Amino acid sequence: MAFFLTRLNVGDYDAWKPMFDQDGPGARRSALGHRLFRSVDDPGVVYLLVEFASAADANEGRSRLLGSGVLDRFSDKTEPVVIEESESVRY
C-alpha cells in the first residue's frame, strides 16, 4: 500500500470542491480511496491523502496530477509526494 500526499491553499473551499470531485486529471482513477483534510485555522488549506495498492500506482496518479497542470493555479502548495506507512497506532 502507498499514498500520495499534498497540501493546497485552495482559497474558497466551496468553489474548489466540485472541481476536485470531478477528478479531471484522473489522479484518483486507480485509487483505493482518499481522505481530504481542512485546516482548522484556515479552512482554505486542504491536505489530500490518496491511497493506492502500490507505490507504482501512487507514482502514476501523482504523475497524472502533475502532468495535468491543474496544480499550477495554486501558488501556495506542496507538490504531491509518494509515501508509505511506516507505523500506525490508535489510542
Domain CATH for 16 = 3.30.70.100
Query: Which of 17, 21, 26 minimizes the C-alpha distance to 67?
Result: 26
Say how many domains are in the chain: 1
Q: Which tens digits make up the pLDDT trace of 4-51?
A: 999 999 999 999 999 999 999 999 999 999 999 999 999 999 999 999
pLDDT tens digits, 50-81: 999 999 999 999 999 999 999 999 999 999 99
Whether residue 89 lies inside any domain: the answer is no
Q: Which domain holds residue 34?
A: 2-83
Is 88 among the domain residues? no
Residue 34 maps to a domain = yes
**Residue 21 lies inside a defined structural domain of this protein:** yes
What pTM, to 2 d.p., does this model score?
0.92
- The reply to whether 31 falls in a domain is yes
CA 57 to chain centre: 14
